Structure 1
């Protein structure tokens, strides 16, 4: 039997308001809340991952480091602290997933082209199939690409990586069904 974990990456105050407020961050938080509610109802493990630096921006326990206002977190949810874009690198995440016999991951959060991308690729390399919640990850964008372009690019690129073996499937919040992976329009997303 497959077991799923939801990874909510870097949905933190400093990335959701003020100068570094990511694109549509409040709408993304709302979608992440719906996804995490579905995950908990299905008995999936919910893990909130927080990026931190030793000084300055996103320093541990500062206001910017805290999980974003409006994000629903339950006492049964787990937390992981990280210091690189890779949520597995020098963290307890892989051990935690193995301890809970997790076989599949659902990933959402911030920023698309950094921590979401890097963690997704590392998950594939470690053997975890991934569902990327296609409308529940976001970014600030950059001087060459708008946030929408970055998000669409990663939804397309990550789902086309096949060399790891496990694959990424992009599914929107409203179509996500934990345990069944069935698309409401009838598409076949079986496998978890």
Structure 2
């Protein structure tokens, strides 16, 4: 099965300061390991960047840039988006179709917004999803801590069956060295 890795919104402005996402340095390290494994298997790595029209996360600003420590290679792909859905008004779906992608590996931030929305949209479009259970993160909110948000989404997204394709939550260590699309449990 042809696979692509989606790295969602791992941007500098979300990895620093007061609103810094939980364990972002550790998440970046895990994403780097998964991305290296995906590249070694010849599958594409797609970095998705959220942007606003002005202010915070404005295109080209320091905060909009991919996070420090994230390993990006010249052959990696990039998609710019303006909503939590990485497919909405972007060329992501066309990019995946052109490469014959049949399955997605998803990681990044923020779990309860862009990771959740993009994962659900991928299911609706017919893509099975491997959610990297320890490589998506959140800053938390007034009701749930970041680890609670992450655990909740690992459980919730894997229980959605109405789309047909399913989500499997797999830890990064179980994906490293595994050919994309193989059954890592």
Shared fold, TM over 0.5:
yes
Q: Is the 8 A contact 1:42 1:179 kept in 2?
A: no
1:180 corresponds in structure 2 to: 182
Greater RCO (CA < 8 Å, at least 6 residues apart): 2
In 2, Cα distance between equivalents of 1:15 and 1:22:
6
1:133 corresponds in structure 2 to: 132
2:57 corresponds in structure 1 to: 58
Task: Give 5+ residue unaligned stretches, structure 1.
Answer: 184-192
CA deviation vs aligned residue, 1:63-100 (integer Å, no higher than 9, x gap): 00000000000000000000000000000000000011
Q: Secondary structure of 1:7's partner?
A: strand
* CA root-mean-square deviation: 0.6
Q: Secondary structure of 1:54's partner?
A: coil
In 2, Cα distance between equivalents of 1:70 and 1:181:
29
Q: Secondary structure of 1:154's partner?
A: helix
In 2, Cα distance between equivalents of 1:41 and 1:52:
30
Q: Secondary structure of 1:107's partner?
A: strand
1:15 aligns with 2:42: no
In 1, Cα distance between equivalents of 2:182 and 2:123:
20
2:122 corresponds in structure 1 to: 123
In 1, Cα distance between equivalents of 2:118 and 2:170:
17
1:84 corresponds in structure 2 to: 83
Task: Give 5+ residue unaligned stretches, structure 2.
Answer: none
1:100 aligns with 2:91: no
Q: Is the 8 A contact 1:86 1:115 kept in 2?
A: yes
Q: Is the 8 A contact 2:103 2:181 kept in 1?
A: no
Q: How much does 1:6 deviate?
A: 0.1
Q: How much does 1:18 deviate?
A: 1.2
| Number of aligned residue pairs | 182
Q: How much does 1:179 deviate?
A: 3.6
Q: Secondary structure of 1:18's partner?
A: coil
Q: Is the 8 A contact 1:112 1:150 kept in 2?
A: yes
In 1, Cα distance between equivalents of 2:79 and 2:59:
12
In 1, Cα distance between equivalents of 2:184 and 2:131:
14
In 2, Cα distance between equivalents of 1:179 and 1:142:
33
